[in-house]
A and B are shown apart, each in its own frame.
Chain A
Amino acid sequence: MKVKLYHPTREIILKGPKQVAVLLRELNLPKEAHLVICGDELVTEDLVIPDDQTVEIRPVISGGE
């Protein structure tokens, strides 16, 4: 599967299928600070992403002041 990441913006390829919760854990990305978009849809952590899918892992934290 193709995974889009931010900070810096990049794409990586991982072997699927893989559950969203497992994907975040393997990438060491906290659930509370990220959302996963599969295709065009927001998905929950129990969803299993097929190998041929593209997903975006979007960080939700912002702000400095």
Chain B
Amino acid sequence: MKCRQCQKSAVIKMERHNTSLCGGCFNLYVHDQVDRAITEQKMFDHGEQILVAISGGKDSLALWDVLIKLGYRTAGLHLDLGIEAYSEVSRKKVETFAASRGLDLIVHPYKEAYGLGVIEIAEETARPACSACGTMKRYHFNRIAMERGFPVVATGHNLDDEASRLLGNVLQWQEEYLEKQSPVLSDEGGTWARKVKPLFRLAEREIAAYSILNRIDYIVDECPMSKGAKMLLYKDILNRLEEASPGTKHKFYLGFLKRPRAATATAKPVDLHPCQSCGQPTPGAVCGFCRLMQRVTP
């Protein structure tokens, strides 16, 4: 198979674009898609310093790699979730990546901070593991960004993540979530750090290919807590649709973004004020993270 751009040997065929590309042309494609996402969605500019949430998986490490190559000022944030061997390997991958490129990295280990890892916290609060983990991640991304003066937090969410989230939200008619689902979440006038997803135009397979081609050493193993997670089921269903009809995921998610939100716009503006416990902005008296931790702290 030949590269459609330059006729060298192709390394990847992308059915959704009806094209095949060599390594060099594929890298240009990935950089272009990220650049386009950042520009079109007004995510950030070269004057801002970006905190990149780095898990040690392919998406976040590829994101960091691309942002550096596009000339953005970045630092990495790794939350060590305290999931035994999985977290140890993940942290090692992140630290090695940062050290090899001379990048600034902030590591926040849960076990040192709270005496418990995310599994124990989920168990003690009887919350689904991914739900407790999500609450904790969102809290720390925002808190650490605000404390350290980063206006933007970038995460490695890709097209498959967003399309599967959209499918889940539609299947359950989560109208409030549908209204909020976007590659950019506003900083609400400086109350939060702005949350952005610069990989939303790229399929999970394309990001894995980018990581392999660029010799990015990421953790291939699944998070042990994600077994049986609904998102994985939705991704599987969407991939079956994609194989039967290439471009389905792209049309589904990007089509959603182009549609007016008025039909689902039911939520009233949220009145935010400081959490009574930690001071972070929250619509309630106590934020979700502090409510979670109150249930595990004696």
What mask results when residues 124 to 167 of chain B are scored 1 for a CB within 8 Å of chain A, else 0? 00000111011001000000000000000000000011000000
Q: Is B76 an interface residue (CB 8 A)?
A: no
Q: Which chain B residues in 89-107 approach chain A with CB under 8 Å?
A: none
Asked, given contacts A61-B160, A64-B226, whether A33 binds B236 with beta carbons under 8 Å apart, the answer is yes
Closest residue on chain A to residue B16 by CB atoms: A32
Alpha-carbon distance between A32 and B160 when the two chains are bound, in angstroms: 11
Q: Is B10 an interface residue (CB 8 A)?
A: yes
CB distance from B150 to the nearest CB of A (A): 22
User: SS class of chain A's interface: helix, strand, loop or mixed?
Assistant: loop
Asked, given contacts A6-B220, A65-B134, whether A44 binds B1 with beta carbons under 8 Å apart, the answer is yes
Asked, given contacts A30-B243, A44-B10, A46-B1, whether A62 binds B209 with beta carbons under 8 Å apart, the answer is no
A62 touches B204 (CB 8 A): yes
B131 touches A65 (CB 8 A): yes
For A42, list chain B residues within 8 Å (CB). 11-12, 23, 209, 212-213
Alpha-carbon distance between A37 and B23 when the two chains are bound, in angstroms: 13
Q: Is A41 an interface residue (CB 8 A)?
A: yes
B133 touches A65 (CB 8 A): yes
Q: Is B59 an interface residue (CB 8 A)?
A: yes
For A60, list chain B residues within 8 Å (CB). 58, 204-205, 207-209
A61 touches B235 (CB 8 A): yes
User: SS class of chain B's interface: helix, strand, loop or mixed?
Assistant: helix
For A32, list chain B residues within 8 Å (CB). 15, 203, 205, 239, 242-243
A43 touches B11 (CB 8 A): yes
Q: How many residues of B contact A (CB 8 A)?
A: 42
* Most chain A beta carbons < 10 A, residue from B59, B222, B242: B222
For B129, list chain A residues within 8 Å (CB). 64
Q: How many residues of A contact B (CB 8 A)?
A: 25
Alpha-carbon distance between A63 and B204 when the two chains are bound, in angstroms: 11
A44 touches B13 (CB 8 A): yes
Closest residue on chain A to residue B9 by CB atoms: A44
For A9, list chain B residues within 8 Å (CB). 221
For B137, list chain A residues within 8 Å (CB). 65
For B131, list chain A residues within 8 Å (CB). 65
B12 touches A61 (CB 8 A): no
For B23, list chain A residues within 8 Å (CB). 42
Q: Which of B209, B220, B229 contacts A64 (CB 8 A)?
A: B229
What mask results when residues 23 to 52 of chain B are scored 1 for a CB within 8 Å of chain A, else 0? 100000000000000000000000000000
Beyond A42-B23, A45-B1, A62-B226, 6 extra complex contacts between A and B, CB < 8 Å: A33-B235, A34-B205, A41-B11, A47-B1, A60-B208, A64-B129
Return 27 A-B CB contacts under 8 Å, by A number: A7-B222, A9-B221, A31-B243, A33-B205, A34-B205, A35-B208, A35-B209, A35-B212, A37-B212, A42-B11, A42-B12, A42-B209, A43-B11, A44-B10, A44-B20, A45-B1, A45-B13, A58-B208, A60-B207, A61-B160, A61-B204, A62-B57, A63-B223, A64-B225, A64-B229, A65-B134, A65-B137
Interface residues of B (CB under 8 A from A): 1, 10-13, 15, 20, 23, 57-59, 129-131, 133-134, 137, 160-161, 203-205, 207-209, 212-213, 220-223, 225-226, 229, 231-232, 235-236, 239-240, 242-243
Interface residues of A (CB under 8 A from B): 6-7, 9, 30-35, 37, 41-47, 58-65
